Chains A and B, each alone.
Chain A
Amino acid sequence: MTVLACDGVGVAYGDRVALSGFSLELVPGEVVALIGETGSGKSSAALAALGLLPDGAALTGRVTRHGRVAMVFQEPLLSLNPLMRVGAQVAEAVRASRADAKAQAARLLADVGLDATTVARRYPHELSGGQRQRVAIAMALAGEPAVLVADEPTTALDPETTAQVIALLVAAARDRGMALLLVTHDLALARGYADRIVLIDHGRVVESGPLPAALDLPRTAGLLARLDHVPERSGPLPDPKPVLTVCGLVHGYGAAVVLDGIDLDVAAGEIVGLVGPSGEGKSTLLRLALGLETPRAGTVRIAGIDIHQARGRALRAVRRQVQAVFQDPGASLDPHWPVGRIVAEPLSLWPEPLSRDAARGRVQHALARVGLDADAAARHPGAFSGGQRQRIALARALVVEPALIVLDEATSALDAAVRADMLDLIAGLADSGIAFLFVTHDHAMIAGLADSVWRLSNGRLIPTLRPRPGQ
């Protein structure tokens, strides 16, 4: 018996076709992963299956549903009412009399692994991201759906919580005989949990099949290879000089202490990873290391110069040694500037004045190093994809030949293929002697790429991977 059947479903937004010829059947208790990169049409497929397409979307083909459907969204904070206690929100979703609903809500919260007596009385903002997503799942389960669609349910969560939440969803599907459609860009995640995968690209299903056999299909295997891709690193540099020396760094906002005594060394040619949950101060540490903020105590030395004490000529000299690439490729580049001018901006830090031709030559060289054509310089950021924009941002960092480049989640907004290329690029630059401080959520990636990885927790650094002797 099928609980959901899509037959030749197509979705178009005006002239733009987001999905075509999409067919899928779900049976009770089965877990199917719908896998695709940003803009592949996977969310359109999920919304079409639920009958939730926005106004202006044209649906073709046929969708048949037997029984109720429910959905869990990406950002739990947006799918919960901030002014309602979560117990009441779950009870609202239960179709029963008031007294029964309360009891049933408590049972549902217990089912998703929450302590119903305490959590039910809290408001969404008093819960962690993982707890919020559990509440959202409890609400989805309240209607006793035959099909549950989860659209990127763990993107906002850290790796440990992600594993717990996915395991919870899968267990709920198995126990209740409910079909689970897991919509995700993360093949690695799906690999561990799904019965079947459906790979979607440019609005079409390109491959599908049961696991683990489907992993050998050519497109899936290619995607897996890129996901698991670990860039080649040559050995450590002989006698690497320290580039970044952080000593006893303390910082906070108001009464809150964010960093409580941070010591960190990064040497030339080294990639140092920095991981940890959101809001633990990773970004604060980066801003201090870049000299964008002044710490309460402690020092940040770059190439031997204290970046917070330096003034005038010394400050310009130290600024030239440290550059950064930020997370959001859409906001990292001034949309009004041509790329040539963007990449040339840090050249004002060059020790001696540069002629027009010399500056242009440096810009072309930096663009070539990140694999972009020389004619990119004349175009504006809007003409480039997300991956190309991150390359432009990296070229802007490289143009002054810095000793240290700070990467703030610089690859998290990129698709698997683009990210693999970017990581190769970073590994190559590190081997040429540039030091990298890489903040990321992607533990598997950084474990393969970095020389050492640190976790920021309660304002302190904890070594998590291959710390060099003496640290």
Chain B
Amino acid sequence: MRRLFAAGALTALFVAPALVALVWTPWDVTAIDVAARMQGPSAQHWLGTDPFGRDVLSLLMAGASVSLGVALAAIVAALALGVPIGLIASARRGWIDDILMRSADVLFAFPGLLLAILLSAAIGPGAIDAALAIALFNVPVFARVARGAALPIWSAPFVAAARLSGRTRIGIAIAHVLPNIAAPIIVQASIQSAMALLAEAGLSFAGLGVQPPAPSWGRMLADAQTLIASAPRLALVPGLAIVVAVAGLTLLGDALADHWRVRRGRV
């Protein structure tokens, strides 16, 4: 329970500023102020300014909401597609199972970065392209977790009792199987969110994700790359933010898994 609280606090550390940044940042992140460029930390600019005179703290906050938004949208989309695929595969078995899971394998074998480049070529680079690429990459992950967790549930006697009650397979999948596989899926979603955040930073760094002037942690890193010798803090700040966010989400998934394992052990 204490670990769950600690992981939750670490996650809140970047989720809260990201939410605040949706309505307010200390400075306007698009306003360029050449007079104030490359300043160190001060009372006005707590984390200093970048080469365009933008406030680094404001960029960090706004970047958090963009990066987190892309990552979460991707994971929600992947859940919405992957979990039903896994459920259907576990419910029908046979050739439907084979087709669904082998397609997932093909998707899984396809390099994520290549997928992102393909997509950005097709629809142009941007936040949507990044979210789509990350979502597609995560669909087989959730399909596999859902199918694997659901298989033993389908042979449980309470599912047989539900069939005797006249429930259809779809009805059983929604009423009985889904609640019983929620725990591992939520844990996986938490860990994949961390991966998605990292992927978003990577894509934006490579110029395939969020485009300027919209801020993102990956873009901040890319902008700081050439100045790493003169102003290391510009790279350090978004780098640390990524580390904290990824560690927070991963620990949250880990703590949730332990929490549920312990609770199940007591029942």
Closest CB in chain A relative to B157 CB, distance in Å: 4
B180 with A324: CB separation less than 8 A: no
Q: Which residues of B contact A155 (CB under 8 A)?
A: none
| Residue interface mask A299-322, B partner, CB < 8 A = 1 | 000000000000000011001001
Q: Which residues of A contact B167 (CB under 8 A)?
A: 345, 348
Q: Which residues of A contact B162 (CB under 8 A)?
A: 334, 345
Instruction: Tell yes or no: A331 within 8 A of B by CB.
Output: yes
User: Is the interface on chain A under 10, 10 to 19, 20 to 34, or 35 or more residues?
Assistant: 20 to 34
* A359 CA to B70 CA, complexed, in Å: 46
A334-B180, A335-B180 are contacts. A322–B164 as well, Cβ < 8 Å? Answer: yes
Q: Which residue of A lies closest to B263 (CB)?
A: A382
Instruction: Tell yes or no: A326 within 8 A of B by CB.
Output: yes
B158 with A346: CB separation less than 8 A: no
B157 with A323: CB separation less than 8 A: no
Closest CB in chain B relative to A312 CB, distance in Å: 11
B176 with A334: CB separation less than 8 A: yes
B157 with A332: CB separation less than 8 A: yes
Q: Is the interface of B mostly helix, strand, loop or mixed?
A: helix
Interface contact tally, CB-CB below 8 A: 54
Q: Which residues of A contact B267 (CB under 8 A)?
A: 335, 382
Q: Which residue of A lies closest to B158 (CB)?
A: A334
Q: Which residue of B lies closest to A334 (CB)?
A: B158
Can you add 10 more A-B contacts, CB < 8 Å, to A324-B160, A331-B157? A315-B166, A326-B157, A326-B160, A332-B161, A334-B158, A335-B180, A335-B267, A336-B180, A345-B165, A396-B161
A326 with B166: CB separation less than 8 A: no
* A345 CA to B166 CA, complexed, in Å: 9
Q: Which residues of B contact A195 (CB under 8 A)?
A: none
Q: Which residues of A contact B157 (CB under 8 A)?
A: 326-328, 331-332
Which residues of chain A from 315 to 358 have any CB-CB distance to chain B below 8 Å in the complex? 315-316, 319, 322-324, 326-328, 331-336, 342, 345-346, 348-349
Instruction: Tell yes or no: A194 within 8 A of B by CB.
Output: no
Instruction: Tell yes or no: B163 within 8 A of A by CB.
Output: yes
A319-B166, A331-B156, A346-B166 are contacts. A326–B179 as well, Cβ < 8 Å? Answer: no
* A316 CA to B166 CA, complexed, in Å: 7
B176 with A346: CB separation less than 8 A: no
Partner of B158, one of A327, A333, A349: A333
B164 with A324: CB separation less than 8 A: yes
